[in-house]
Amino acid sequence: MTKKSVTILGSTGSVGRSSLDLMRSSNKFDLFAITANQNAELLIKQCREFNPRIAVIGDESLADSCYESLKRSDCDTKLKVGQDALDEVASDSAVDIVIAAIVGSAGLNPTIDAAKNGKRILLANKEALIMSGQLFMKTALESGSTIIPIDSEHSGIFQCLSNEKSEASAIQFKGVEKLVLTASGGPFLNLDSSEFKYITPEMACAHPTWKMGKKISVDSASMMNKGLELIEAHHLFNVDMPKLDAIIHPQSIVHALVYFLDGSVLAQLANPDMRIPIAYGLTYPKRMESGVEHLDLVELTDLQFLEVNEDRFPCLKLARLAAKEGGSSPILLNAANEMAVEAFLRGKISFVKIPQIIEEVMMKIPCESPASIAIIHDLDLRARQLSNQLINKGS
Ligand code: NDP
């Protein structure tokens, strides 16, 4: 059996570390490259344990200390530096599988390069679909690249649809009436909205069911994450927005449901652990052990499903609006959200300011149809500059 060669973009993050857990317990994969931005210490530690062919450090100021540390270690890993190196390890002809787990728009270029080069992409990074959904899916289709979502909700849908066709692509699912993503509701599901202004970054990052990076934890708390996921599902499965829905399910056991025309509903259930969708993506259409315990259905006495109250979570409403407008709207939404969340995490703005900044950016920059990655980056930059002004004005 030939081993599959894997690049993990963002190996020091939460998804990256779960991916390495699977590499640790399986002999089916060769690690081609791992990457980090600033966490050089963990990157070097990972090199010592996994001995990948290449390690990339994104932040160029850390290059010298990384070289020194690698020289002192026993591994043969070669160090590369900077954003271009990310693109190289995502598109190298030796690579079969790219796990796209860089957070934010920094993940866009390497993920698109992987798609151009026909890789199997295990997609966690949201920006490839939010910022450039049509372009990204078209690129993947043309090159024969397989996109397998590893966000648990999209993986759930992907698994429920596996009998309908073999992979996510630009073909409509004729027998499908509705796709439903579940949302835990985050840590503030039952908090009175008058208390939202007192929410601290620590409170927002304390997710009740998932252990994740800070940015996505805040997005879960504001429910922007669900909004971004609806936009992602629209592109991944080529389903119109009216056929996509979200419901609250605080236990995070049912990840997604697919409603079929004949009245059948398929759901995917599992303990909330990212190793399951990553493992599925690595060996699809086969399955491998993930190390995650099976559900004990007898223990599951209290599974709740509730309607989402969008008035309490304006970020979700804004995401739906961006999806409806299409064109550049999701790009503006995403960039403004990234800036606002970062400012919130640094204590510069309050939690309730996040949707206000996003709404203002979406109103002030006119919507257009971006035809290239260069235009997408330009729109992203403009939205970030305006967000910055609004953050500084309000702080
Ligand atoms: P983390 O914040 O834990 O990790 C992010 C990774 O990206 C780190 O390896 C980080 O490097 C790297 N990175 C950050 N900025 C840059 C940059 N400018 N250039 C290169 N690398 C960079 O995030 P998560 O693992 O939680 O999430 C990763 C992506 O997956 C996100 O888009 C998230 O929305 C999505 N996702 C996450 C899920 C989860 O359960 N965590 C579930 C579904 C989707 P360093 O450590 O050096 O800073």
Q: Are residues 188 and 144 in the same domain?
A: no
Q: Are residues 266 and 123 in the same domain?
A: no
Closest residue by Cα to residue 251 from 290, 208, 204: 208
Q: Are residues 199 and 145 in the same domain?
A: no
Range of the domain at 86: 4-149
- pLDDT for position 167: 47
Helix, strand, coil fractions of the chain, as percent rounded to 5: 50, 15, 35
Domain total in the chain: 2
Query: In this structure, what CATH number is given to the domain that contains residue 316?
Result: 1.10.1740.10
Closest residue by Cα to residue 284 from 153, 158, 111: 158
Q: Which residues does ligand 1 sit against, CB inside 6 Å?
A: 10, 12-16, 36-39, 58, 101-104, 106, 124-126, 151, 210, 212-213, 215-216, 274
Query: CA Rg, the chain, in Å?
Result: 20
Q: Are residues 357 and 266 in the same domain?
A: yes
CA of 12 to the centre of ligand 1 (A): 8
CB environment 67-85: b (16+ within 10 A), e (fewer): eebbeeeeeebebbbeeeb
Determine which residue's CA is closest to atom 18 belonging to ligand 1: 106
Q: Are residues 251 and 355 in the same domain?
A: yes
- pLDDT for position 166: 46
Place of tokens 């609806």: 230
Place of tokens 């997609």: 123
Q: Are residues 184 and 144 in the same domain?
A: no
Strands lying side by side in the sheet with 265-269: 244-248, 176-183, 254-260, 265-269
Q: Could you state, in chain order, the average pLDDT of each consecutive group of 10 residues for the chain (395 residues)? A: 94 97 95 98 97 97 95 92 97 98 93 98 95 94 96 97 61 81 94 94 88 90 96 94 95 96 96 97 96 93 92 95 95 97 97 98 94 94 98 82
- pLDDT for position 232: 97
Q: Which two tokens stand for residue 97?
A: 């599988």
Q: Are residues 109 and 194 in the same domain?
A: no
The pairing of strands 146-149 and 176-183 is unpaired
CA of 14 to the centre of ligand 1 (A): 7
Determine which residue's CA is closest to atom 7 belonging to ligand 1: 102
Q: Which residues are within 8 A (CB) of 91 and not within 5 positions of it... i.e. 6 or more apart?
A: 110, 113, 114, 116, 117, 119
